[in-house]
Amino acid sequence: MPAGHGLRSRTRDLFSRPFRKKGYIPLSTYLRTYKIGDYVDVKVNGAVHKGMPHKFYHGRTGRVWNITKRAIGVEVNKQVGNRIIRKRIHVRVEHVQPSRCTEEFKLRKIKNDQLKAEAKAKGEVISTKRQPEGPKPGFMVEGAMLETVTPIPYDVVNDLKGGY
Amino acid sequence: MPYVKAQKSKAYFKRYQVKFKRRREGKTDYRARNRLINQDKNKYNTPKYRLVARFTNKDIVAQIIHASISGDIVLAAAYAHELPRYGLEVGLTNYAAAYCVGLLLARRTLKQLEMDAEYEGNVEATGEDFTVEPAETRRPFRALLDVGLIRTTTGNRVFGVLKGALDGGIDIPHSDKRFAGFNKDSKQLDPEVHRKYIYGGHVAAYMRNLMEDEPEKYQSHFSEYIKRSIEPDTIEGMYKKVHAAIRASPEAKKSEKAPTKEHKRYNLKKLSYEERKAKLIDRLKALNSAAGVDNDSDEDD
């Protein structure tokens, strides 16, 4: 029999639920709210059969462009041939998680605003740009023992272990 | 001892997946809860309120709750043990008391939301099916009935709570199929029978029955009623007064409780991470000083 290429082909392990996490899915997935423009991760939940994305989108992150009663429209990048297309899919909320990719950026934004406000109050000019890690500073090596290593002359007797 | 084959092997325990905690306790039906809580995503943060009605052996609990990730939030609650404040002291878990609790909860939430002047609901309880009409300025407060794990049979007391809340002015989608007095054959609600139940008519009928046939059982069963000299004929009047009192002042009253005493601790208190680490360092120090070796630098890793 030839190999099928159906919608859910080769997803035996990908869509299976993790060990000891089968059955009812926790209700917090239904209580989360999403807004247009949020970043979300697409992660298929094999327990819910409706509104499943295709296996290609499992593990992708995209932005929300549409919200309906029970599903969310996500815009995901897909490479087709020599170009990247922005694909729009609709996925039920059980297969979506809020993404943490922008979390660090959002926190930094808040902190920078705070720092800038403080600096403005004090009247000093600060730069909130991130600097890349520079080269490591120099240091003195402490407590090093000098050990001279020389090659030892070849010894036939030692190398033939019991074989002669 | 005879050899007993072990039923639950180590493998069994390793592979066992526990159900959700509240399911293990047998308190929550997650299938129903899922459908009650799920809010349309295009309604964003609009809360979905549910009217929770639970019965214990001696009390009735009615709450308006909406769900959140950190835990459900109760908007307002009403208990049957508050009814003595309105003049009802006996029969706190019967159908009539359930109606009173539902009514109390509805008036309380509407007063809290300052909608009680607009939505009077059904002032005179007639037992007919009553649905709130939307007023001009604000739409009615909407909640969904959450029965929990009880079997929804016709005439169940949770529907007494439902009827009380409806007559109080809350919009709850329902049908009259499960109210007391619904006739299965004719598929119609008999409002007279329902009205009888709301005013405790069924209790009064039983009282009259016992007074005639078994006076001793009447004395033992309805002893609290007799103590407060409540006759079968006065029951309806009593409930009418309770309804009026509820509508007059539905606010919750804060109860004064004495500050809780400190009890003696019988089990060991769990130490925090820092406390346990400190304890370990002390133990090592003591060991090393006893052995006579000074190794303090090793413990501070």
pLDDT value, residue B129 = 85
B272 touches chain A (CB under 8 A): no
Q: Is the pLDDT of residue B1 over 80?
A: no
Pairing, β B144-146 against β B73-79:
unpaired
Number of domains chain B contains: 1
Q: Is the pLDDT of residue B136 over 90?
A: no
Q: What whole-number distance in Å separates Cα of residue B252 and Cα of residue B105?
A: 10
- CB < 8 Å to B71, chain A: none
The CATH homologous superfamily to which domain A15-98 belongs is: Ribosomal protein L21 (2.30.30.70)
Which residues of A fall below an 8 Å CB-CB distance to B?
20-24, 26-28, 30-35, 67-72, 93
Domain range list for chain A: 15-98
Cβ separation of A69 and B17 shorter than 8 Å? Answer: no
Give B102-118 pLDDT, tens digit per residue: 999 999 999 999 888 88
Q: Is residue B143 in a domain?
A: yes
Domain residues for B223?
18-246
* C-alpha–C-alpha distance, residues B104 and B164, integer Å: 8
ipTM: 0.73
Amino acid, res. B130:
F
Cβ-count burial A119-156 (b if 16+ within 10 Å, e if not): eeeeeeeeeeeeeeeeeeeeeeeeeeeeeeeeeeeeee
Residue B66 phi, psi (nearest 5) = -130, 150
pLDDT of A164 > 60? The answer is no
Subunit contact B69:A71, Cβ cutoff 8 A: no
pLDDT tens digits, A40-77? 999 999 999 999 999 999 999 999 999 999 999 999 99
| Residue B300 confidence (pLDDT) | 47
Percent of all residues in chain A with a pLDDT value above 70, rounded to a whole number: 95
From A31, A35, A70, residue closest to B69, measured CB to CB: A31
Interface residue B68 vs chain A (CB under 8 A): yes
> By the CB < 8 Å criterion, does B42 face chain A?
yes
Is residue B225 a part of any domain in this protein?
yes
Q: What is the pLDDT of residues B219-261, one digit of tens each?
A: 998 999 999 988 889 999 999 999 999 999 888 888 778 878 8
Query: Are A92 and A46 a contacting pair, CB within 8 Å?
Result: no
Residue B8 resides in a domain: no
User: In one letter, which amino acid is B223?
Assistant: S
Residue B36 lies in a domain: yes
β pairing state of B182-183 and B144-146: unpaired
Which of A31, A34, A64 has the most B C-beta neighbours within 10 Å, making it the best mutation to test the interface with B? A31
| Region B95-102 average pLDDT | 94
In this predicted structure, what is the pLDDT of residue B293?
56
Q: How many H-runs (helices) and E-runs (strands) does chain A carry?
A: 3, 5
Does A160 score more than 70 pLDDT? Answer: no
Q: So what's the pLDDT on residue B301? A: 43
Identify the band that residue B280 occupies on the pLDDT scale cut at 50, 70 and 90.
Answer: very high
State residue A85's pLDDT score.
Answer: 94
> According to the model, what pLDDT value does residue B186 have?
86
CA B8, distance to chain mean position in Å, is 38
The answer, yes or no, to whether residue B5 has pLDDT greater than 90, is: no
Tell me if B263 is assigned to some domain: no
**In the predicted model, what is the mean pLDDT of residues B42-69?**
93
Residue B7 lies in a domain: no
Closest listed residue to residue A23, CA positions, set A51, A48, A57 = A48
CATH number, domain containing residue B35: 3.30.420.100
Assess if residue B232 is contained within a domain. Answer: yes
B11-40 residues touching A, CB cutoff 8 A: 15-17, 19-20, 23, 30, 33-34, 37-40
Average pLDDT score over residue span B7-19? 90
- pLDDT confidence of residue B263: 83
pLDDT of the residue at B184: 84
Tally C-beta pairs within 8 A across A and B.
46
Return the pLDDT at B118. 84
What's the pLDDT band for A110 if we cut at 50, 70, 90?
very high
Give the three-state DSSP class for A47.
coil
> Of A20, A21, A69, which is closest to B41 when you measure between CB atoms?
A69
Q: How many other C-beta atoms can be found within 10 angstroms of the C-beta atom of residue A15? A: 16
pLDDT of residue A159: 66
Nearest CB partner across the interface for A27, out of B15, B17, B34: B34
The pLDDT value recorded for residue B133 is 84
In a domain? residue B2: no
